[in-house]
Structure 1
Amino acid sequence: MSTMLIGLSLVVPVAACAAEQQPPRSSAAGCQIALLLPENTTPRYEAKDRPLFQAAVKAQDPGCTVLYFNAANAADKQQQQAESALAQGAQVLVLDAANVDSSAAIVQEAKAKGVPTVAYDRTAGGPLAYRTGFDNVEVGRTQANAMIKAMQAAGHASGDIVMINGAPDTTGAFFKQGAHEVFDHSAYKVAAEYDTDGWSPTNATTEMTQAISKIGAHDIVGVYAANDTLAGAAITAMRQAGISPVPPVTGLDATDEGLQRIVQGTQYMTTYKNLKAETAAAAKVAIALAHGQPVPFAPKVKNATGDEVPTQLLPPVAVTVANIKSTVVADGFATSAEICVGGAADACARAGLTR
């Protein structure tokens, strides 16, 4: 069986179960859930994941409270936050690991205290009770396939490309793996590649500048950027180098800034994760675990430490100017008013988006 088929076989329909209309539990049967997010450099965590998860918990069990923590890209800080959550009486940890490799210590400590851990979005090591998220290798494949389609449409059947990957100790490693599965079997050459510590846009701008010096300003036919923040940095570097128009650039997270660039034509695509479905699924599992109730069935998948974990994965969606309206806007993830501001207003009108 090919790697592609293996990856796809792990994807199960979470959206349906996440969207089930369950009557809210009695507030008398309350619980306490800790949400530990990894960083605040990427806009999505504070703007989307946190409020969506809190709303999902409140909707499903008004008696449950959420203890919130953000590790600001520091694994040791997240360890301390997890210990604080346990000390405050958290019955379940919902963990988006700041560092996948070191996350097992958090999971093991929680289990030793009788507290289950749900890996949210990113995988984690250790004896997890459950994982909800996306097929992150498939995210990379989705980005790479979309970029190849755009390069071919631009008349480049081959050529030099740049890869601005995410942090290697996070989901960036899985995105990179999936992208290479596509690029390494294509006619395109990865002429410059960088792993961007901390998903830092400052580092990404430097990396793209180095790639331009190495390859040549007019010889780059595409730029793989692991998320929208890195895409924006790469585009800034190309503009500073006088590259116009910029070649196709990928992204991830469907940020307002990324969607504005897509409408304006400076970023080709972003990869959309339906965070409303993901947070609803994670809240449902966490509440069930807190109450000692059965969790939704999911196939078991081995994590980095070899532990078999029930895993629900959603498929990512490639978003371009052609389908913004039918994906992120239709889902209520982003509104036309949020996208169509400033310099994007005229481009929105051409794309059929109105405020």
Structure 2
Amino acid sequence: MNHIYRSKKVVKKSRMKKVFFIFTLILFATAVTIFIVYWPNISKNEQQVLKPSKVRIGFAMGTLKEERWFKDRDILIAKAHERGYEVEWVNANENDVEQINQVKYLLSKNINILIIVPNNYEKCSSAINLAKKRGIKVISYDRLVKNSDIDVYVSFNNYKVGELMAKWLLKTVPRGNYVFLLGDPGDYNVQMIKEGYHKVLDSFIQKKQINNILEKYCYNWRKEYAYNYVNNLLEEGKRIDAVLASNDSLAEGAIMALSEKRLAGSVPVTGQDADISACQRIVKGTQLMTVYKPIDKLVDLTLDIVDKLIKNKPLKPTSMLNNGYKNVPTFFIDPIGVDKSNINDTVIKDNFHTWDEVYITK
């Protein structure tokens, strides 16, 4: 009986082992199947999580009124895309409140860095504060934001812009009645340009070789102001020997007033930005010169700075400029004075404008 009992016990244990083995085999097969079916998706999801998202740049522009700002926008977007960056851009249309609201919008789009062209150098500081509270680094682009915690200021050297205009006029008109047409008082570049030309001309003004018969702001850079200022002087019988207009739009307004008195071309007028119409006036002889600012270089410099800020690499600024809040790392690009003698070797050679655009008009 004992023998029969033990035999049954052995058989039972053997069956249990077989059942356990089969069960284990089924579990293993199920696990392998699940691994084969679901692993690609798991791996894919894991790769998506690990893959870094694109850097998104917010580009807040104060205006698109002048021709040059279209170039800044288009070149910056194109070159940013080449580097793998996304760009979300807005234009405040010279409205300070709208610019603050647009910065709020850009922050809602989860931008990683803010590039801003302030409409007003003082009123824009609250927009900067919004960005800094979110930990977003800010580049002040071609216009300085005063009294704010901007990280970088990148621009053309606007002191030299003023110096170039003054030096060109001095070579042509070393003495006489000068008219100074400044841009918008809310644009800090205007103050820099003013400081630049006064640095060159003040000694001549003090010696009475140059008479400053008018020095006025043109709000929002409107050429209508320039036209009215020059026209009123001419109507009063004042002689004008030279006009230092702070950009090409103001130059156009001044030349319109001069042309009505048949003085266009006989009174030297400066400008800035190398607008196509200004370049055409230069080759025709109605505008003396313009200050050319190679925007490609400014954009490349700006995006190099973006690279460094995103990667937390140290900046090596060419100078530091106090904006009323702190000393701001500053990068300047030198502008270029352009007249008839070098327009082919500058504006046209750089393909800023083509030869046909400058010399052939409809």
Task: Report TM bin, short chain.
Answer: 0.7 to 0.9
Specify which of 30, 54, 76 is matched with residue 30 of structure 1. 54
Residue in 1 that maps onto 2:341: 322
> Displacement, 1:278?
0.1
Aligned residue type for 1:107: I
Q: CA deviation at 1:229?
A: 0.6
Q: Secondary structure at the match of 1:39?
A: coil
Off by >3 Å, runs of 4+ in structure 1: none
User: What residue number does 2:261 align with?
Assistant: 241
Partner SS, residue 208 of structure 1: helix
Distance in 2 (alpha carbons) for counterparts of 1:306 and 1:36: 21
Which consecutive residues of structure 1, in runs of 5 or more, have no partner in the other structure?
Answer: 1-26, 152-156, 344-355
- Cα distance in structure 2, aligned partners of 1:244 and 1:80: 43
Q: Does the Cα contact within 8 Å between 1:162 and 1:211 map onto a contact in 2? A: no
Gap runs ≥5 in structure 2: 1-50
Structure 1 residue 221, shift from structure 2 partner: 1.0
Is 1:73 equivalent to 2:94 in the alignment?
yes
* Residues in 1 aligned to 2:265 and 2:275: alpha-carbon distance in whole angstroms: 22
Which amino acid is the alignment partner of residue 228 of structure 2?
T
Indicate conservation of the 8 Å contact 2:181/2:243, yes or no: yes
Mean Cα displacement is larger for which, 141-150 or 300-309? 300-309
Residue 297 of structure 1 aligns with which residue?
Answer: 316
Residues 253-285 of structure 1: CA deviation (Å, up to 9, x unaligned): 001000000000000000011110001111221
- Could you tell me which residue of structure 2 aligns to residue 279 of structure 1? 299
Cα displacement (A) at 1:288: 3.3
- How is 1:209-228 mapped onto 2 (pairs within 5 angstroms)? 209-214=231-236, 216=238, 219-228=239-248
Task: Determine if the alignment matches structure 1 residue 41 to structure 2 residue 65.
Answer: yes
1:34/1:94 contact within 8 Å kept: yes
- Structure 1 window deviating more from structure 2 (310-319 vs 293-302): it is 293-302
Aligned-partner Cα distance in 1 for 2:223–2:210:
25
Q: Determine which structure has the larger helix proportion and give its number.
A: 2
Match for residue 278 of structure 2 among 254, 258, 280: 258
The 5 Å alignment of 1:117-128 reads: 117-125=138-146, 126-128=148-150
- Following superposition, the deviation at residue 286 of structure 1 comes to 2.0
Partner of 1:182: 200
**What do the CA deviations read for 1:282-314 (whole angstroms, capped 9, x no partner)?**
12212432x333154114523332311111101
Residue 341 of structure 1 and its aligned partner are, at CA, apart by 2.4
Change (3 A) 1:285 1:29: farther
**Which of residues 183, 196, 200 is equivalent to 2:218?**
196
User: For residue 248 of structure 1, what is the amino acid of its counterpart?
Assistant: P
Report if aligned partners of 1:34, 1:66 keep a CA contact under 8 Å in 2: yes
**In structure 2, what is the equivalent of residue 142 of structure 1?**
164
The one-letter code matched in structure 2 to 1:162 is: V
Cα distance in 2 between the residues matched to 1:240 and 1:266: 13
CA distance in 2, matches of 1:300, 1:226: 24
Distance across 2 between alignment mates of 1:195 and 1:33: 33
Change (3 A) 1:303 1:102: farther
**What SS does structure 2 have at the residue aligned with 1:220?**
coil
- Would you say the 8 A contact 2:321–2:330 is kept in 1? no
Q: Which amino acid aligns with 1:181?
A: K
Q: Secondary structure at the match of 1:124?
A: coil
SS at match of 1:185: helix
Query: Retained in 2: the 8 A contact 1:36–1:95?
Result: yes
| Structure 1 residue 325 displacement after superposition | 1.0
Kindly report the root-mean-square deviation, in angstroms, between the aligned alpha carbons of the 2 structures. Answer: 1.7
Contact 2:56 2:111 in 1 (8 A): yes
Query: Is structure 2 residue 107 aligned with structure 1 residue 93?
Result: no
Q: SS state of the match for residue 203, structure 2?
A: coil
Query: Alignment partner for residue 82 of structure 1, among 90, 103, 121?
Result: 103
Contact kept in structure 2, 1:191 and 1:215, CA below 8 Å: no
Q: What displacement does 1:113 show?
A: 0.7
Letter in 2 for 1:69: V
Specify which of 283, 287, 290 is matched with residue 267 of structure 1: 287
CA contact (8 A) 1:166 1:173 kept: no
* In structure 2, distance between residues paired with 1:295 and 1:197: 38
TM-score, reference length from structure 2: 0.81
Deviations 1:132-156 (A, max 9, x none): 11111221111111111122xxxxx
Does structure 2 retain, via aligned residues, the 8 Å contact 1:41–1:200?
no
